[in-house]
Amino acid sequence: MPASAKNTDSTDTSKTRAKKAPTKKANKQAASEGFTDFTPYEPKKGEEYMSSSQLDHFRQMLLNWKQELMEEVDRTMHHMQEDAANYADPSDRATQEEEFSLELRTRDRERKLIKKIDKTLDNIDRDDYGFCESCGVEIGIRRLEARPTATQCIDCKTLAEIKERQTGI
């Protein structure tokens, strides 16, 4: 069989398949996990830990993150209002209810995260940000950039997680 007559409709689609655009689910996941516009902080030589410029950096990060979460809440509210339909088919109705349930569960987690962001912003305003609440050592800029709402250094957090696994609390 000549090479030009080869069947390519289902066997070799990897070369012709275009890269897919991010799905709605991927966009939601990115919004809930972090930031879409982020520049790492570069400390100046000899700069004191949690200087005013560092606190401003983290304040802005948290405010941007909170804004993204709030926008996602608004999108969900509009989506649920627009897509709410009384389907005649029980399967369609169940599918829609499950979708709404998942969205509401996600929004509830994000609501809790927004509260945590607000608490962290209060800590920044009181100059009580960036230090472990358990032992008092510096949490570290890179850890705070990875998880700006962190309240424990990596060592205390690791110990707390080990205790949690052992005791089940």
Query: Is 73 marked as binding a ligand?
Result: no
**132 has binding-site annotation:** yes
Nearest alpha-carbon partner for 65 in 103, 123, 117 = 117
Q: Is 131 helix (H, G, I), strand (E, B) or coil?
A: strand
Give the Cα-Cα-Cα angle 96, 89, 84 (nearest 5 degrees): 35
Is residue 88 annotated as involved in ligand binding? no
Is 31 part of any known ligand binding site?
A: no
Give the C-alpha separation, 6 to 148, whole Å: 55
Output the known binding site: 132, 135, 153, 156
- Which residue numbers belong to the known binding site for Zn(2+)? 132, 135, 153, 156
